[in-house]
Amino acid sequence: MNFDLLFAILFYGLIALFYFRNKKKFKVQGKIFFLYPTHIGLKLMDRIAKSCPRVLKVLGYFGIVIGFSGMAYIFYVLVNGAFSLFLVPSAAPVVAPVLPGVKIPGAPVLSFFHWIIAIFLVAAVHEFSHGVFARLYNLKVKSSGFAFLGPILAAFVEPDERQLAKAKKREQLAVFSAGPFSNVVLGVIFFLIFSFATGPVESKTIDADGIIVGQVMAGFPAGKAGLEAPFVLRAVNGGEVLDFVNFSLVVSEIKPGDKVTLTTDKGSFDLVTVPNPDNSSKGFIGISGFDQKTKVKESFRKSYGLFAYKALHWINLLIVWLFVINIGIGLFNLLPLGPVDGGRMFFVVLLSVFKDKSKAKRVWNFVSLLCLLFIVINMLPWLGKLVIFLLKPFVFIISLLL
């Protein structure tokens, strides 16, 4: 039973119940964006803005620079990912749904409780930062609260849009970039915590036990040899590859045309490598989506018990997901797309360039549609999996009837 999916369904059921009981208090925008306004955190935003205005203004400049740098980077990643899906066999999409129970190649499964904690913290910090910078420039913040964009959990602050539109362009850019910038900074902090604290501590409690392979590329040697993902790779040509260091060293020495024997948890498989699509001088097996398989050290198990390791592992995964989701949501919000932060920053720049609001809006709409197109292209593999998942019960019922 998929408990993560079960918890998610229960959670959304409770949210739906809350919505119907408090329907009059919700604001609905565009029929899919549901906002529940409160005044939570407004006084704290004001207090922080007034306590260190000089520091915040300096951070605002950094936020604008990071904002436009991140916008260029994530747009490039999105475009490159879309073309790779068409040109590179079995290329992985660069966009993935951040939902509990969804398996993303190369990443641990996101549990429901990791998801709800991470999303709450990411959204709260993001929107709180918008509010702080709005108050820094004496812009009124009408309300704060939580929201839903379809099934996507979010938070919001509601600044006075008329005041915001009349503010200096630099101030507008600082307000818009504050949310993504805070997420990027928070993501870096959690990365450092993982790199220098929780990660090293957990590594002392486990031993490497092979490489989990999450994807076998169609038409390449591994697939032709009969391998099916997922499987655990433990040796290549008799040499152990229990961790990523050994795996990388062994794979780097493989040339095109080499005969290779893979020892896995499903048996041994012989194949002949082909030239790597990215570097023809290197041999290519045709596998991807790697993850480390581990086992708890016997000495740790005897001293502290398995529960202690599971608790440590759970905390470590939370730190990892807080890093991944902060960076992912921070960068995604910097896309020059419609009403998201990057879109609003881009529109401010267009107004400065064109002076004519109607012309700026036409360019803004075109770029937004372009971004949306590339997002849809990158989401196609996931949409295909969703369709198959939804059709499975119907196929099963039809098979019973026939």
pLDDT in tens, 290-325: 888 999 999 999 999 999 999 999 999 999 999 999
Distance (Å) of CA 355 to CA 153, 345, 349, 359, 361: 36, 15, 10, 8, 11
Q: What structural domains and CATH numbers belong to the chain?
A: 3-200+317-401 (no CATH), 207-296 (2.30.42.10)
Comparing 28-37, 156-165, 254-263, 285-294, which segment has the lowest mean pLDDT? 28-37
In whole angstroms, how far apart are CA 209 and each of 266, 268, 286, 369, 384?
Answer: 15, 17, 21, 46, 33
Cβ of 36: how many Cβ atoms within 10 Å? Answer: 18
C-alpha distances in Å from residue 261, one per residue of 67, 219, 227, 251, 258 = 48, 18, 12, 12, 10
214-229 in b/e burial notation, b at 16+ Cβ within 10 A? Answer: bbbbeebbbbebebeb
Strands 27-29, 231-236: parallel, antiparallel or unpaired by DSSP? Answer: unpaired
Q: Are 348 and 172 in contact (CB under 8 A)?
A: yes
For 41, which DSSP code? T
Mean pLDDT, the chain, as a whole number?
89
* Cross-strand pairs, 28: 34
- pTM confidence score: 0.84
Whole-number pLDDT of residue 34? 84
**Antiparallel, parallel or unpaired: β 141-149 and 33-38:** antiparallel
| Chain segment 187-231, per-residue pLDDT in tens | 999 999 999 999 999 999 999 999 999 889 888 999 999 999 889
Of 9-23, 146-160, 260-274, 359-373, the one with minimum mean pLDDT is 146-160
pLDDT of residue 390: 57
pLDDT of residue 401: 62
- Residue labelled with tokens 């040109």: 87
Residue pLDDT, tens place only, 115-164: 999 999 999 999 999 999 999 999 999 999 988 776 677 888 999 999 99
- Distance, CA of 23 to CA of 17 (rounded, Å): 10
